[in-house]
Structure 1
Amino acid sequence: MQSSSDLFPVALISAERRGDLIEDVYRLKPGNSPDFSVELAVTRLGLVSGANVRSVPVILVHGSFSNRRFWYSPKGIGLGAYLARAGFDVWIPEMRGHGLSARNQAYRHNRVADYARYDLPSVAAFVREQSGQIPHWIGHSLGGTTLAAALGGQYLGVEQAASVALFGSQVTRGFWPLKLPPVQWISRFILKRFEHVSGSRLKRGPEDEPMGVLLESMRWRGLFARFGDKKEDWWAGLRDVQVPLLAVTAAGDHQDPAWACRELYEQFGSERKQFLCLGREQGFTEDFGHVQMLVSKAAQAQVWPLVEAWLEQPAMGPVTESTLNVSATP
């Protein structure tokens, strides 16, 4: 593997022009986790007209059963493309076994803990090396949860994250049967027989999820559970986070409800943070859903400008309502 980085082996595996955008795909082999077969695909989006201009980097982290296409379609539509056209340097990593990232040898055992401890810091280091700037981060659903784990575990800090925006991310909504030890034991015994959960069969998305992620999520929701792993208490660690935070929920999101997203938001110790709910009561034209909050025509008109405003304002001082005063009407 040829290297274009001083950090670890990196290969440019694709370089395409798609309309007004440049799409470069890199394959990273950090070699920093117990499974040395891990390779991560990271896509960079930029404007053709600004190919040699170093702009503010933004890293977009997809959620479960998803890949880079959540952020931009082959036709160049999506928040990723929007931000690139707004002048940002957009980077989109795909988690182990998702999209262009090959399945690693220990794929079935992949966990959020691995993404947070090993993969996101590697992506942060590479993007900072290439851009010369500290990147901003945006995560949706499990992508946001992974960012919270990385921040709470001190794997990412102010040297790796200029700001973080979490969309539809929470860790405290539980299911009472899972708090019963016999139910947990039986469920885990059955699920351990399988390698992954099929997104297409469950109609949850185009990708599969490794069983390790599901088992880890169940453990977070068990009796006397905590958000963390055997070594780290990520939930407690969030109190020490000083990275500027934007937490966004949707009034019509029944998967990750607003109250649970707010609990995660309130756990952050950041002095500069903002909580937004996308719903009619807040002046939007609809009660957005879990996916529709970022992927819909209404999101394009009403939510994407909010994201752009946030990315432009963390360095301007304390967050206020007026700094995100973007009209909710198209």
Structure 2
Amino acid sequence: MPTLQYRSLFVEPVAGVRLHLREICLPAGQTDQVAPSRGAILFLHGSIENGRIFYNEKGRGLAAYLASQGFHCYVADLRGRGLSEPKVGRGADHGQWESVVEDIPALHRFVADRHPQGVHWIAHSWGGTLAAATLIRFPELRPQVLSKTLFGVKRRISVRSLEFYFKMGVVWQGLAPLCKLVCGYFPAKPLKIGADNEPWGAIWQVTRWTQDRHWCDPVDGFDYSAALQAQHAALMSEPVSDYRWPRSWFLAGVNDKVLGHPTDVQLFIDELGAAETRFTLLSQVKGYRHDYGHIDMLVHRDAAQDHFVELADWLD
């Protein structure tokens, strides 16, 4: 593994908010010697996570792997998470609306200004749902997005199991509201339920989206389902470039029983209706080294010799 360069950058989408981007790349002068320059990637994490799901300073993780292969990687900490400021705490009133309308567009434009040839997007779990919502609201961004790679990404949760009732019923809809009354947010990190804390606004908005068949924003009423239908109709009548979806690859773990169940991933693919879409089930039956789950599809030690290699080739 070649030596990588790590640097912290900050983006200010609105006054008083600083979003952290971890830039990971080969040092200047090494790109052509070790690996050819292969473009820029913006990484988006999911709920009760931060950007660390994609990297560490020891060179492990998807972003570190792709940087070693010549990609210029930018790993986001969404608002209040990771090294972004201010941290999630009492009084934090933001949610996923701010991520979709303010933060992700600002992060993309920052990276796109540095790499005008285009930017790949890679997202895990709910980060991929927010990414899709951003491209529905702002279709003018789509020509600048070279591809989307989505790990364990769903919008609705349709599969019911004991694990579902515990994670979504007991934790998400029971413990999280109780925590809101006590401390004003969901302290997932000290409770050892997740890697980072979550503002209450995101909790109740995620709950709505995972339960409702019709996709609508509970904050401002934006109708994603209707917008998708209108955009698909426009593509049918004429090749409107702004409405074309980037080529997309959805990956699901066969052992992901709730948060990115393969059935729900396929439901989201069908809902989006993008033409150039690939779906892969990460399982031993399909030729992969392990039967992967929701988290280990990104953090397993063998992933860098497994589907990460395939992804690097696909991005090209």
Alpha-carbon offset, residue 166 of structure 1? 0.9
Map Cα deviations across residues 178-200 of structure 1 (whole Å, 9 max, x no partner): xxxxxx99999756534221223
CA distance in 1, matches of 2:189, 2:5: 30
| Aligned pair partner of 1:128 in 76, 90, 112 | 112
Tell me the equivalent position of 2:221. 231
- Per mean C-alpha deviation after superposition, the further-off stretch among 71-80 and 135-144 is 71-80
The 1:50/1:254 distance shift into structure 2, 3 A limit, reads farther
- Please tell me whether residue 249 in structure 1 is matched to residue 249 in structure 2: no
- Per mean C-alpha deviation after superposition, the further-off stretch among 116-125 and 228-237 is 228-237
Tell me the equivalent position of 2:287. 283
What SS class does the counterpart of residue 57 from structure 2 fall into? Answer: coil
| Aligned pair partner of 1:103 in 76, 86, 107 | 86
Tell me the equivalent position of 1:79. 62
The 1:292/1:22 distance shift into structure 2, 3 A limit, reads same
What SS class does the counterpart of residue 260 from structure 1 fall into? Answer: helix
Q: Are the counterparts in 1 of residues 23 and 75 from structure 2 also a CA contact under 8 Å?
A: yes
Alpha-carbon offset, residue 95 of structure 1? 0.5
Structure 1 vs Structure 2 CA RMSD: 2.9
Alignment-mate amino acid for residue 298 of structure 2: L
CA distance in 1, matches of 2:9, 2:61: 20
TM-score (normalizing by structure 2): 0.80
CA distance in 1, matches of 2:186, 2:179: 9
Q: Are the counterparts in 1 of residues 135 and 142 from structure 2 also a CA contact under 8 Å?
A: no
- Please tell me whether residue 41 in structure 1 is matched to residue 25 in structure 2: no
CA distance in 1, matches of 2:300, 2:250: 19
Tell me the equivalent position of 2:138. 154
Tell me the equivalent position of 1:88. 71
Alignment-mate amino acid for residue 44 of structure 2: V
The 1:156/1:186 distance shift into structure 2, 3 A limit, reads farther
Map Cα deviations across residues 40-84 of structure 1 (whole Å, 9 max, x no partner): 111111101447886511111112222222111121211111111
TM-score (normalizing by structure 1): 0.77
- Please tell me whether residue 60 in structure 1 is matched to residue 43 in structure 2: yes
Select the structure that is richer in helix. 2
Q: Are the counterparts in 1 of residues 176 and 186 from structure 2 also a CA contact under 8 Å?
A: no
CA distance in 2, matches of 1:45, 1:188: 34
Q: Are the counterparts in 2 of residues 251 and 287 from structure 1 also a CA contact under 8 Å?
A: yes
Ranked by relative contact order (alpha carbons within 8 Å, sequence separation 6 or more), the top structure is: 2
Alpha-carbon offset, residue 119 of structure 1? 0.7
Q: Are the counterparts in 2 of residues 197 and 208 from structure 1 also a CA contact under 8 Å?
A: yes
CA distance in 1, matches of 2:256, 2:73: 27
The 1:259/1:85 distance shift into structure 2, 3 A limit, reads same
Alpha-carbon offset, residue 168 of structure 1? 0.4
Map Cα deviations across residues 268-296 of structure 1 (whole Å, 9 max, x no partner): 23221101111122122321010111110
Map Cα deviations across residues 191-227 of structure 1 (whole Å, 9 max, x no partner): 6534221223443332111111111012224566535
* TM alignment of 1:161-172, pairs within 5 A: 161-172=145-156
CA distance in 2, matches of 1:271, 1:189: 39
* TM alignment of 1:162-311, pairs within 5 A: 162-174=146-158, 192-193=180-181, 194-222=183-211, 226-229=215-218, 230-238=220-228, 240=231, 241-255=244-258, 256-311=260-315
CA distance in 2, matches of 1:81, 1:189: 36
- Per mean C-alpha deviation after superposition, the further-off stretch among 216-225 and 253-262 is 216-225
Alignment-mate amino acid for residue 79 of structure 2: R
Count, aligned residues: 285
In structure 1, runs of 5+ residues without a counterpart are 1-17, 178-183, 313-330
In structure 2, runs of 5+ residues without a counterpart are 166-171, 232-243
